Chain A
Amino acid sequence: SKRNKQKDEL
Chain B
Amino acid sequence: MNIFRLTGDLAHLIAIIILLHKIWKSRSCAGISGKSQVLFALVYTTRYLDLVTSYVSIYNTFMKFVFLATSYATIYLIYVKFKATYDHNHDTFRIEFLILPSLALALLINHYFNFLEVLWTFSIYLESVAILPQLFMVSKTGEAESITSHYLFALGSYRALYILNWIYRYATEGHYDLIAIVAGVVQTVLYCDFFYLYITKVLKGKKLQLPA
* Chain A residues proximal to chain B, CB less than 8 Å: 1-2, 4-10
List of 6 A-B pairs having minimum Cβ-Cβ separation, nearest first: A1-B112, A8-B56, A2-B111, A10-B63, A10-B9, A1-B111
Contact between chains at A2 and B112 (CB < 8 Å): yes
Q: How many A-B residue pairs have CB under 8 A?
A: 27
A-B contact pairs, 27 of them (CB 8 A): A1-B111, A1-B112, A1-B113, A2-B111, A2-B112, A4-B112, A4-B117, A5-B175, A6-B54, A6-B56, A7-B50, A7-B54, A7-B56, A7-B120, A8-B56, A8-B57, A8-B60, A9-B5, A9-B162, A9-B165, A9-B180, A10-B9, A10-B12, A10-B60, A10-B63, A10-B64, A10-B67
Number of interface residues of B (CB under 8 A): 20
- Measured CA separation A1–B117 after assembly (Å): 12
Beyond A9-B162, A9-B180, list 15 extra A-B contacts (CB 8 Å): A1-B112, A2-B111, A2-B112, A4-B112, A5-B175, A7-B50, A7-B56, A8-B56, A8-B60, A9-B5, A10-B12, A10-B60, A10-B63, A10-B64, A10-B67
Chain A, Cβ-Cβ closest to B165: A9
Which residues of A have CB within 8 Å of B111? 1-2
A6, A8, A9, A10: most-surrounded residue (chain B CB, <10 A): A10
Q: Whose C-beta in chain A lies nearest to the C-beta of B8?
A: A10
| Cα separation A9 to B5 with both chains bound (whole Å) | 8
